[in-house]
Amino acid sequence: MDPVHLRAAGTSLLLTFPAGETEITHFGADLGTDLPDPDLLTPPIPNSALDVPVVVGIIPQASSGWQGRPGLRGSFLAGGRPGRGFSPALRVESVDAAADAVVITAHDGDLGLTLSSHLRVHPGGLLEVAHTLTNTAGDPYQLEELAVVVPLPRRADEVLDLTGRWCRENHPQRARLRQGTWVRSGRHGRTGHDSSLLTAVGTPGFANRAGEVWASHFAWSGNHEQFVEQLPDGRRLLGASELLGSGEIVLESGQSYTTPAFFAAYSNRGLDGVSARFHEWFRAREHHVGTVAGRVRPVVLNTWEAVYFDHRIDELLDLAASGAELGAERFVLDDGWFAGRRDDTAGLGDWVVDSQLWPEGLTPLIEGVNALGMEFGLWVEPEMVNLDSDVARDHPDWIVGPDPAAHTTGGRLPLEWRSQHILDLTNPGAWRHVFDQLDALLAENNIAYLKWDQNRDLSEHGSAGAPSVHEQTLAAYRLLDELRAAHPGVEIESCSSGGARVDLGILERTDRVWASDCNDALERQTIQRWTQAVLPPELVGSHVGPTRSHTTGRVHDISFRAITALFGHFGMEWDVRQASAPERETLARAIALYKEHRALLHSGIRVNADLPDEALRLHGVVSRDGREALFAAVAVASSYAEMPGPVPLPGLDPDASYRVEVLLPSSADADHSHAFTQIRPPAWLRDGDAFTASGAWLEQVGLQLPVLNPEHALLLRAVAL
């Protein structure tokens, strides 16, 4: 079979078909059109090895000599016992190639298994891969794993992935790639606080703006594994798969299983190049929200850290009025509005308005919010249930657990998490209950936005006595899909104890994520930077929290909190009535800046400078034509140096001249003097508060910063002259 070569935006995917298999011969930099005979790449055969070259197919198989992690694991249940067909020999039957995509069908006729592989290189250079396995035999086939992999070159020698915990999501860790398999397993039943949103492997020392990088993301909200493997023969793979429970997927004759989508990106300009490919893919979607899609991201005022469960309509309307005065455009009523909900121990599952708190329903609050010029949003947690709820009392069989009879016999339920259990959405009655209640809520109220939360892991998740995370995840997807179809104007946020469900699977049916329950601006600098390594800023909720953080106890000036929140979907989660007059003045100016520049923030190119001082960071957004940019210079700790020195402003047009000025904090801000430790500022800040230079100068020589105190920031704007 002839090779298949897909190319886009500086990326090439070359597929060849040695020994009847599909092999990714190259995924990386563009190869051009003049390609040699791929047979010339056939490797030698070393001593003490198989007598034929080992093919690393897109599904690595032992039948081809592969001795690493297999791409397909499973067997037929002949006579009710597993084992037959444990080692398939899938060979290519057909190749259907187009300009940007290819579908390859492979078959093992002896066993009765067919594999259909879909590969596409999107216009921005992002590769998407998925496999569908079909049982064409008579016996059931128990699937254990079906992985998606791409090869890595030998110069890709350093691994960066992300990990975290509640209120500290998406923090990077690095390691040298060694022989063996580096595996990140997620058994949370959701993506997980410690999940790696991005797994990147690159040339040694790759950075934000330098080095070659191959990176991947697995678009699945359930259990999963991500891995990097290096075999003794030097070959390397980057891959992922759904992590299936025992007997969770059994394919009867004619049935199929499709993997979640696996996305991979190549960049020869560091991690920023990887991010650019993901961001372009997001923004090309028909249902995307943001400036490029004509749906601007409104300024949010969320009530959680302002009032918690204290829901009184007069207080809430007063809070709404205070927020509207500052420039808020969307008011979100958080947890505590529904029947029996006075704290977090009761009420989940009963999605009806509490008649004691709201004798006239939510209508007076919604109308009051709308009259102030704001949209109304509401918090829900549809996948969970408290035992102290009407639905749990009426339908105990709808509660997830390892023992299908536990609800009637007093047997064991899973351990509680935040006093809650999980509704079995694979049960048609439970699914219909949730859909009908939310559908009625949206039909009867002018609700523009749902904050959709999921506050616990799906531990010991079973239905009818068998593991069912896979089906629960698909049921949750279907619930979101059908509610969106019924109410297409409603936007939905994915929140999961903060950032525990952030992935492209959930983002195919939601409009933003809540990156973390932590509103501490210092923590948010890292959380948002690495969340936005994959997600564009308009999809990442970023709020100005209280002066003293409710999750860390740190105190930060208003300018630092506002600058941090600007680089995302801006909002407030704070009783802004308690803000001082100078704080309100600075906050109102920040909101005005967000509105003025959100078209840039939500359509431009995200950039991150490489700085030698780990205490200092500089990131920003540059317009696609290079005419304008916003940058944040951030001191996250005390520097080892007395002066920061000139720092680069990356991503600008090297041939254009720019005027650079400070937007926040200004000399009028009450916290201005607290931001710096210096006798006098740099010369350019004493001479009209602006600096003019070429883009080449600003990136290669840089801009001399003032001496920032730890946990302070400077907002800069660069405009081409």
Could you give the residue numbers annotated as active site?
A: 453, 517
Beta strands in 357-406 (DSSP E): 375-380, 384-385
| Residues whose CB falls within 8 Å of the CB of residue 472, separated by 6 or more in sequence, listed in order | 189, 222, 400, 422, 424, 425, 426, 458, 461, 463
| Residues whose CB falls within 8 Å of the CB of residue 48, separated by 6 or more in sequence, listed in order | none
CA–CA separation, 48 and 207 (whole Å): 40
Residue 63's Cβ-count burial label (10 Å; 0-12, 13-18, 19+) is: middle
| Residues whose CB falls within 8 Å of the CB of residue 708, separated by 6 or more in sequence, listed in order | 616, 633, 634, 635, 644, 675, 676, 714
453 annotated binding-site participant: yes
CA–CA separation, 266 and 30 (whole Å): 10
Structure tokens at 445: 């109220």
451 annotated binding-site participant: yes
Tell me phi and psi for residue 274, to 5 degrees: -65, -50
Structure tokens at 226: 């991500």
455 annotated binding-site participant: yes
Q: Are 146 and 257 in contact (CB under 8 A)?
A: yes
608 annotated binding-site participant: no
Give kind and range of the element (H or E) at residue 581: helix 581-601
CA–CA separation, 59 and 70 (whole Å): 7
Residue 552's Cβ-count burial label (10 Å; 0-12, 13-18, 19+) is: middle
CA–CA separation, 605 and 650 (whole Å): 11
334 annotated binding-site participant: yes
Residue 94's Cβ-count burial label (10 Å; 0-12, 13-18, 19+) is: exposed
CA–CA separation, 22 and 604 (whole Å): 38
User: Using a CB cutoff of 8 Å and minimum separation of 24, what contacts does 407-414 make?
Assistant: 414/459, 414/460, 414/461
CA–CA separation, 404 and 165 (whole Å): 31
Structure tokens at 342: 């006075």
495 annotated binding-site participant: yes
161 annotated binding-site participant: no
At residue 74, the 3 state secondary structure works out as strand
Q: Are 591 and 570 in contact (CB under 8 A)?
A: yes
- Measure Cα distances from 169 to 196, 515, 547, 586 in Å: 9, 8, 21, 28
3-state secondary structure 481-548: HHHHHHCCCCEEEECECCECCCCCCHHHCCCEEECCCCCCHHHHHHHHHHHCCCCCHHHEEEEECCCE
| Residues whose CB falls within 8 Å of the CB of residue 174, separated by 6 or more in sequence, listed in order | 158, 159, 160
- Measure Cα distances from 248 to 134, 282, 319, 365 in Å: 16, 31, 48, 46
**CA torsion sign, 496 to 588 to 661 to 628?**
positive
Burial 415-436 (b: 16+ CB within 10 A, else e): eeeebbbbbbbbbeebbebbbe
C-alpha R_g of the chain: 27
| Residues whose CB falls within 8 Å of the CB of residue 374, separated by 6 or more in sequence, listed in order | 301, 320, 323, 324, 328, 329, 330, 331
Q: Are 662 and 686 in contact (CB under 8 A)?
A: no
Give kind and range of the element (H or E) at residue 661: strand 657-664
439 annotated binding-site participant: no
CA–CA separation, 90 and 513 (whole Å): 40
Q: Are 319 and 358 in contact (CB under 8 A)?
A: no
Known binding-site positions for substrate: 166, 334-335, 418, 451-455, 495, 517
Known binding-site positions: 166, 334-335, 418, 451-455, 495, 517
